[in-house]
Amino acid sequence: MKVGLVGFPGSGKTTVFNALTGQQAEIGYSGKGLGKTNLAVVKVPDPRIDALADLYKPRKTTRAEVVFVDVAAPPGVAGRSLDASAIVAMREVDALAAVVRGFPSTEGAAADPVGELSDLATEMTIGDLAPIEKRLERLKKEKAKPGEQDLLLRCKAHLDQGGSLRDLPLSESELQLASGYRFLTRKPLLVVYNVAESDIVRPLPAAVQAYLATHKLTAIPLCGQLEMDLAALSEAEQKAFLADVGLEQPAVNRFISSAYGALDLISFLTAGEDECRAWTIQRGTIAQRAAGKIHSDIERGFIRAEVMSFDDLMKYRSEVKVREAGRARLEGKEYVVRDGDIIHFRHAT
C-alpha cells in the first residue's frame, strides 16, 4: 500500500514522514530539501507474524509493507495551493494522509487546521474537476463509452456542490469507468493533526472534531516533532520516552492501524518452515482473488484453500493438531477471507 502525505508547505509533512519512517529527510523551508519528494518503505508491525515465526522458526519472515511518500511542492510554491506535480503525485497513491498544522508556524502564524482542511478539499475538488471537464469537452467530438457521459456529469454535479466522490455511490460498471481517473476525492483520506508538544494528550479542538464529523473523516493526532525525535531512539529508549509523555505506542503503529481501519484492509497469513508471511487484502476479498496476491498461477489454478484461524493454531500449537481437532476447513474459491486466516492454497500447475 502506498500512502501519500499531503498538505500545505510548513504543515509538517516531512517531519511526520521522518516520524513514521525513522528517516532523516531535511525539514524546513530553506535548503536543498525543499521540493524533494521523499519515499520510504515501512514494515507493518504485526504480533501474529512474530508468534508464527516463534512456532515455525522459518528461514524467512515477511511483513506487509506500507510505502510512505512525502509529496513536496517544488521551490517557489508557498501558501495554500497545490501545484500540478503534487496533484500528479497524489493520483499515484492508494490513500492520502492530510497533514495539517496544529502549532504556531515558524513565522508565528496561528494554527488554522479547519481552514487548511477545507482549502485542501477545494484543491482536490479542482484536481478532480479538471480531467472531467477536459473529457466532457472531448466527448463533443468523440463517442463516449456506454454510461460514461452520465457518470461524468453526475461526478461533476456532485463536486460542484462541494461533495467528495467518496460519498457518491457508484455501480460496478461505473467504478470500472471511473478507475482510470484515479480521483483524489475518492481516495481514502486520513487526517494527521500535527499538534504542538504541549497539546499532545489534549482532545482535538471542537472545530476540528466538527469538521471531521461533517465530512466523515478520521484524524490521528500526533506531534510530528516529538515523534520524529522518538523514531531516532532505540527500542528500549522509545518505551521509556513513550511512558514519559503518556503515549502507548509510537506514531507509526497508531497510524498504520488507523489506516487499515479507514481503508478496510485486513491480513491473511501463510506459514511454513520456509516463510511466514502477512498479506494485505481488502475486506471482502474471496479466496481465489487472495491467492492471486501470492502468484497469478495460484489464482488461475485454484482448487481449494485450506484455512485455519490464527487463534486455533496458537491454541493447538501445530497444523496437524488443528486438523485432528477438526478445526481446519477446506474452502472453495468464493470463500470470503477473514482477518488472521492462515491459508494453504491447493492449486493445479
Ligand X SMILES: Nc1nc2c(ncn2[C@@H]2O[C@H](COP(=O)(O)OP(=O)(O)O)[C@@H](O)[C@H]2O)c(=O)[nH]1
Rounded CA-CA distance 123/131 in Å is 14
Which of ligand X, Mg ion, none lies near 35, with the C-beta cut-off 5 to 8 A by kind?
none
Is residue 40 involved in binding ligand X (CB under 6 A)? no
Retrieve residue 20's grid coordinates.
513514521
Which of Mg ion, ligand X, none lies near 106, with the C-beta cut-off 5 to 8 A by kind?
ligand X
DSSP-assigned letter for residue 3: E
Among 3, 42, 93, 103, binds ligand X (CB under 6 A): 103
Rounded CA-CA distance 263/250 in Å is 20
Among 21, 225, 285, 288, binds ligand X (CB under 6 A): 225
Block residue for cell numbers 484543491: 123
Is residue 224 involved in binding ligand X (CB under 6 A)? yes
In angstroms, give the least distance from the CB of 70 to ligand X.
7
Rounded CA-CA distance 172/24 in Å is 43
Rounded CA-CA distance 208/200 in Å is 15
Which of ligand X, Mg ion, none lies near 125, with the C-beta cut-off 5 to 8 A by kind?
none
Is residue 75 involved in binding ligand X (CB under 6 A)? no
Rounded CA-CA distance 61/220 in Å is 29
65, containing H or E segment: strand 65-70
In angstroms, give the least distance from the CB of 94 to ligand X.
21
* Number of neighbouring beta carbons within 10 Å of residue 164: 21
Could you tell me if 54 and 264 are in contact, meaning their C-beta atoms sit under 8 angstroms apart?
no
Retrieve residue 320's grid coordinates.
496437524
In angstroms, give the least distance from the CB of 106 to Mg ion.
12
In angstroms, give the least distance from the CB of 16 to ligand X.
7
Could you tell me if 102 and 111 are in contact, meaning their C-beta atoms sit under 8 angstroms apart?
yes
Q: Dihedral sign, CA of 280, 247, 219, 214?
A: positive
Q: How far is CA 77 from the centre of its chain?
A: 26
Q: Which amino acid does the sequence have at 296?
A: S
In angstroms, give the least distance from the CB of 235 to ligand X.
22
Count the residues of the shown chain that bind ligand X, applying the rule CB under 6 A: 17
What is the radius of gyration, based on Cα positions, of the chain?
23
Is residue 113 involved in binding ligand X (CB under 6 A)? no
Is residue 125 involved in binding ligand X (CB under 6 A)? no
Among 1, 4, 15, 52, binds ligand X (CB under 6 A): 15
Given phi > 0 = left and psi -120 to 50 = alpha, else beta, which region is 83? beta
Is residue 268 involved in binding ligand X (CB under 6 A)? no
Report the residue number, 83 or 339, with the smaller CB distance to Mg ion: 83
Which of ligand X, Mg ion, none lies near 164, with the C-beta cut-off 5 to 8 A by kind?
none
Q: Which range of residues in 7-15, 177-185, 206-214, 246-254 is near ligand X by CB under 6 A?
A: 7-15
Is residue 38 involved in binding ligand X (CB under 6 A)? no
Which of ligand X, Mg ion, none lies near 11, with the C-beta cut-off 5 to 8 A by kind?
ligand X
Q: Which range of residues in 9-17, 185-193, 233-241, 337-345 is near ligand X by CB under 6 A?
A: 9-17
Report the residue number, 196 or 314, with the smaller CB distance to ligand X: 196
Instruction: Provide the binding-site residues for ligand X, judged by CB under 6 A.
Output: 7, 9-15, 27-28, 103, 106, 194, 196, 223-225
